[in-house]
């Protein structure tokens, strides 16, 4: 059975690479899911030094996206994008598994 896929959009990969370069860290974005937020679960982003045991890893333009096994169940099939709008700029998860999400785009329900 193939592992569920999650990926970075090219725009998100460029943004991660720029942030990592400024901070002198590897271009590795960790996405995790925590309980809470206005819809039940919330996304958490951060730079990582490397993948942990059991992480799912995907690559886009030389940038890695790592997700732990527990979070992967909730975000399988997602694309992490970077969106700039009048309201600001942010990483956004396009999650086909979410039954509902909130207006802020950082929390969801399944």
Look up the CATH number of the domain holding residue 18.
Answer: 2.60.300.12
What is the average pLDDT value for the chain, to the nearest integer? 86
Residue 2 lies in a domain: no
How much is the pTM? 0.84
Q: Which domain holds residue 38?
A: 7-109
pLDDT per residue over 64-74, tens digit each? Answer: 999 999 999 88
Residue 43 lies in a domain: yes
Residue 41 lies in a domain: yes
Give the Å distances, CA to CA, from 96 to 24, 28, 79. Answer: 33, 23, 9
Domain total for the chain? 1
pLDDT per residue over 28-58, tens digit each? Answer: 999 999 887 676 788 899 999 999 999 999 9
Residue 56 lies in a domain: yes
3 is written with which tokens? 């592992």
Q: Which stretch of 9-18, 44-53, 80-89 has the lowest confidence by average pLDDT?
A: 80-89
Residue 11 lies in a domain: yes
Most confident region among 8-12, 38-42, 89-93, 106-110 by mean pLDDT: 8-12
């Amino acid at each position: 059975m193939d592992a569920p896929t999650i990926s970075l959009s090219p725009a998100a990969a460029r943004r991660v690479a720029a942030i990592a370069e400024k901070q002198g860290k590897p271009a590795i974005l960790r996405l995790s899911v925590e309980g809470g937020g206005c819809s039940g679960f919330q996304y958490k982003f951060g730079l990582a030094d490397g993948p942990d045991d059991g992480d799912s890893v995907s690559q886009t333009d030389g940038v890695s996206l790592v997700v732990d096994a527990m979070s992967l169940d909730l975000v399988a099939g997602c694309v992490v994008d970077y969106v700039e709008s009048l309201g600001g700029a942010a990483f956004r998860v396009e999650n086909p598994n979410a039954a509902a999400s909130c207006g802020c785009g950082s929390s969801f329900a399944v």
